[in-house]
Structure 1
């Protein structure tokens, strides 16, 4: 970065033939390519799809993989525990086994083995967690393990980016995900639900890094007019991963006692895709020029993504971003501590943190993880709940595809604020109609389900993935890695808390849990109305200049 400081002072960038092109020292106006030149090339599309599928598809897949076969996995955990207690599923201990025990001790053992070993009728399976505190805790840990692992690893993101860059970080991180897949897939053979938990925790380690690096890379390689559209590709892959995991978990496919571990094995497919494609993709031109000062490599990478050698104007724009960083004292990579010390970056950090907290505390994580159970609790049968869950994730995919078209037309601010307002209303509706349904009005259960469906559509039209686009747009290059780390922390800390606490709180106050989420969204939306600016169609440096002028 120090070398870049000296190079920008001379205004030099390389041509293909090795000569230099001058940038007038007085020219500080940010230029953008004409809209006709900012097109989606096949090279850019290939890289964006490959990266999004290889990194964010496993995120959605991992979180939803236990959703449809939830009852089967819970009963498997019970059977493992039963054998460890010396029992056998469906059987209680014989009189010979207990004749030497005291009457109280024998009664305790009989009760414990019955709790873990007795077969439960299918229409009572939804009561298992409520009646068995230890089982409920184990299942909560299974659900929260991914978010816990992500929260641990996300703090290393800035180190990975600084040392290896986005491309190599994604390749190395891919190997971490494969280790988790092996452990989670072999848990049945090992008769160890602890192995399932550890495997999911390692998935979380992989996710904590991927969730920040992939959108950062996609934003940096995309032209200004396509940044919003390409920024939704990771989101499309995330909800597609959830949808595929749910469909595979149906009893007609892999959602059976014998086949459910295969669903975990299939998480390795995106890893193979990454290893086959990413080595042939260039590093981010912004990273190469602004951080590594590799001018020729940056030009080659940009020419690859744009499908033309005529990239001089865009290189000048990137160079001017570097000049702005130098002028604002941000020429060197900013640490997390440095991010909090700078008053401007601290203010931007506050805005993006509120946005991401509203994203995570909207209730989307528990709704995603426990969709089938939620539908069962509002009165739907087991098969109806599974089909409802499939429809739930199919709606997510359609909504995210629609958001790709709306992002560069309606703008980020409208989709964000309007989306959070509507989702708050949906949460209040779910609470009201579920409560009415418990009074005996069966029609209300289906209205509650419709509220959940509308919640998913509106959430994925904007609030779901705009926060990640905003972080990449609102921070200078030197601060994006640290900003992504802190925003990821703001994402995964509430995520692990909600995933772990939701089944427990839901057992205590039921549908009124969603009133908490709705209240948080109302407060957050008011804050965003007064602080979030529109970033649609603006060069990255112009966005930061506007923020500096507004908050100076």
Structure 2
């Protein structure tokens, strides 16, 4: 085997493990978090992801490690956070939900909860996990294929597919494509553009942190619907400013403002909330498969838009944002009509909210069953 073949094989292995990590981390955090801060915990991934991107932009400057003589150091610097994670991961407890619901190990579940919540505050979460375990009644993990044919998760699955497709087809990648062009039109020298693009990284960090602070207060629906609605608005504004880019000297600055506010809107809504929805819309038996489907759809959408976008730009030029405008409106409308608010709800409560969509008017909720039994007892 040649050296190039070995190197390529190692690259594939690294990318594969990175892809697995992108799915497992939000799954783990969604399972261990209490419902009061589940949104913040899930968005935490996006917060540190944007911090990592900004750090990479800073370290990649010519004055740091972006020069020709130090590019190898730049690439190898990624090993530092990976090494820190490798050393600290063994200290983390296993997911309590996995231990009790999947493994039926109540002792280890209790031990994991105590290490996460403390010996005084773990009981409420323990009761919630036991309630979910009784409701699932020994139901085993569903495969990806089984999920597609499972009536009880029909609309949850459609929701995460639509949300992950929308995240990539919202126009965020087109914004970064046009950013350099707009910055040049604004009179910024090419040598200084890397410093200006740091502003986009700062915007991502600010909105990810803001999303984390707001998601458990205002709810998921407000953020994701509001985010897509604002993105649709700025798609219109950006189309107008790019059309008249050369007409007036001040127009490029409006284009820059539209780009930065579009990035802010994306980070405030779709960028942070999508992963949270995937964690919350499914119970333990379906969540792993749902994350695999959501992750695959997200990356396939990213690949598709990367392949098709150059042709869209060549054909429509600045009017390509009208396509993204339509996408943002469709996703916002879908979320508004279909997805209930999940803030401060248990996984079983969220499942109940979806069952009338999955089964129609014939579905009788557990709450209605309890009310009927109480009424019958009173009449007797």
TM-score, normalised to structure 2, is 0.87
8 Å Cα contact 1:366/1:499 also seen in 2: no
Q: Tell me the residue number matched to 2:195.
A: 387
Correspondences of 1:218-297 after superposition (within 5 Å): 218-297=29-108
Report Cα offsets for 1:27-78 as digits up to 9, x if no partner. Answer: xxxxxxxxxxxxxxxxxxxxxxxxxxxxxxxxxxxxxxxxxxxxxxxxxxxx
2:269: which partner in 1?
Answer: 462
Matching of residue 406 in structure 1 with residue 217 in structure 2: no
Runs of 5+ unmatched residues, structure 2:
360-380
Between 504-513 and 260-269, report the one with greater CA deviation: 504-513
CA distance in 1 between counterparts of 2:154 and 2:187 reads 47
Tell me, in whole angstroms, the C-alpha distance in 1 between the residues paired with 2:10 and 2:51.
22
Q: Which has the higher helix share?
A: 2
Q: Which runs of 4+ in 1 moved over 6 A?
A: 194-200
2:167 to 359, 369, 372: 359
Q: Which residue of 2 aligns with 1:436?
A: 244
Alignment pair present for 1:539 and 2:350: no
Deviations 1:314-353 (A, max 9, x none): 2121011112122xxx711011111011112122100121
- State the match for 1:210 in structure 2: 21
The equivalent position to 1:524 in structure 2, one of 294, 317, 331, is 331
- Taking a change above 3 Å as real, the CA distance of residues 200 and 425 of structure 1, as seen in their structure-2 partners, is farther
CA RMSD, 1 decimal: 2.4
How far 1:470 sits from its partner (Å)? 0.8
Q: Secondary structure at the match of 1:536?
A: coil
Give the deviation of 1:421 after TM superposition: 0.7
Secondary structure of 1:254's aligned partner: coil
Q: After TM superposition, give the deviation of residue 475 of structure 1 in Å.
A: 0.4
Query: Is the Cα contact below 8 Å between 1:431 and 1:512 reproduced in 2?
Result: yes
C-alpha displacement of 1:540 = 1.5
Larger Rg: 1
Structure 1 position 543, deviation (Å): 1.0
Q: CA deviation at 1:195?
A: 9.8
Instruction: Determine which of 318, 324, 337 is the counterpart of 1:511.
Output: 318
Pick closer, same or farther for the CA change 1:365–1:300 going to 2, 3 Å: farther
Q: Rate the CA distance shift 1:197–1:436 in 2: closer, same or farther, 3 A.
A: farther
Equivalent position of 2:118 in the other structure: 307
1:306 Cα deviation after fit? 0.2
TM-score, normalised to structure 1, is 0.61
Cα offset, 1:384, TM superposition: 4.0
Task: Count how many residue pairs are aligned between Structure 1 and Structure 2.
Answer: 357
Cα displacement (A) at 1:200: 6.4
